[in-house]
């Protein structure tokens, strides 16, 4: 019997992609970067170095510095990289918005008697701030971030650690997220059921349970 549910946060409950794209376009323009592929390049650079952090090859702060250096193609001291990244961060945080199906889904899950946990690869401080600002913190029971785990999703150790915190076995939990690799295939490898949130129809042929909106989730 299902006892608990893991929701990914970014691009599952919160429109992280739009916030990041709008922030980087404005921020990059201030550094003389104005081409049409700014958003795509920043997303690619961010994914590369954030994955290194999730594998614990570098620290969280180091991945931020690496993103700035690669994106701007500049060598700079750590403190300069931190200052430059802060200019992006303030714009990014100002753009956070929750999807309109987020709160209803969280409330339906709780009404079904499930323990509702956010399971995210973000760091706890930032993700807790995000949940609080967007009015989601009171809609959940647990916040589980990869910063308190041995590794991030899709590493099986991340799912094992999250299950321990949830207090459930793999067959008593469900993972709901937007990343086919990190959320869904990672969960399946760990023996956890999973539902892909495919808002943009990017995985129409994926052989996994899939919804295009959280309104379609049934508990």
Q: Are residues 198 and 142 in the same domain?
A: yes
Q: Are residues 29 and 129 in the same domain?
A: no
Q: Are residues 37 and 111 in the same domain?
A: no
Q: Are residues 89 and 109 in the same domain?
A: no
Both tokens of 193, joined, read 């059921």
Q: Are residues 47 and 110 in the same domain?
A: no
Contact present, 105 and 36 (Cβ < 8 Å): no
Predicted pLDDT of residue 193 = 97
Q: Are residues 124 and 176 in the same domain?
A: yes
Q: Are residues 102 and 185 in the same domain?
A: yes
Residue 86's pLDDT band (boundaries 50, 70, 90)?
very high
Domain hosting residue 85, numbered range: 16-94
Which CATH number covers residue 181?
Answer: 3.40.50.1000
Residue 93's pLDDT band (boundaries 50, 70, 90)?
very high
Q: Are residues 212 and 137 in the same domain?
A: yes
Q: H-helix or E-strand containing 7? A: strand 4-7
Instruction: Choose one of 40, 70, 94: the last residue of a domain.
Output: 94
pLDDT (tens digit per residue) in 159-182: 999 999 999 999 999 999 999 999
Instruction: Choose one of 42, 77, 94: the last residue of a domain.
Output: 94
What is the count of structural domains for the chain? 2
Mean pLDDT, to the nearest integer, of 41-45?
A: 97
Q: Are residues 8 and 48 in the same domain?
A: no
Mean pLDDT of all residues belonging to the chain: 97
Q: Are residues 82 and 104 in the same domain?
A: no
pLDDT (tens digit per residue) in 111-148: 999 999 999 998 999 999 999 999 999 999 999 999 99
Q: Are residues 8 and 65 in the same domain?
A: no
Cα(79)–Cα(24) distance, rounded to whole angstroms? 20
Instruction: Choose one of 53, 79, 94: the last residue of a domain.
Output: 94
Using alpha carbons, select from 65, 27, 24 the residue that is nearest to residue 42.
24
Q: Are residues 90 and 103 in the same domain?
A: no
Query: 93-116 burial by CB neighbour count: b if 16+ within 10 A, else e?
Result: eeebebbebbbebbebbbeeebbb
């Amino acid at each position: 019997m299902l006892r608990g549910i893991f929701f990914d946060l970014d691009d599952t409950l919160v429109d992280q992609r739009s916030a990041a794209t709008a922030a980087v376009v404005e921020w990059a323009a201030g550094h003389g970067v104005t081409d049409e592929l700014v958003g795509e390049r920043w997303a690619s650079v961010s994914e590369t170095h954030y994955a290194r952090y999730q594998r614990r090859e570098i620290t969280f702060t180091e991945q931020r510095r690496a993103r700035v250096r690669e994106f701007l193609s500049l060598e700079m001291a750590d403190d300069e990289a931190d200052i430059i990244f802060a200019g992006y961060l303030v714009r990014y945080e100002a753009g956070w918005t929750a999807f309109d199906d987020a709160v209803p889904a969280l409330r339906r899950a709780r009404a079904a008697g499930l323990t509702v946990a956010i399971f995210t690869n973000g760091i706890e401080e930032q993700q807790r701030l995000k949940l609080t600002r967007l009015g989601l913190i009171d809609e959940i029971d647990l916040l589980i971030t990869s910063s308190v785990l041995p590794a991030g999703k899709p590493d099986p150790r991340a799912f094992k650690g999250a299950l321990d915190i949830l207090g459930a076995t793999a067959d008593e939990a469900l993972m709901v997220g937007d990343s086919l690799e990190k959320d869904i295939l990672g969960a399946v490898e760990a023996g956890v059921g999973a539902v892909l949130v495919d808002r943009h129809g990017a995985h129409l042929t994926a052989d996994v349970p899939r919804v295009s909106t959280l309104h379609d989730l049934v508990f």
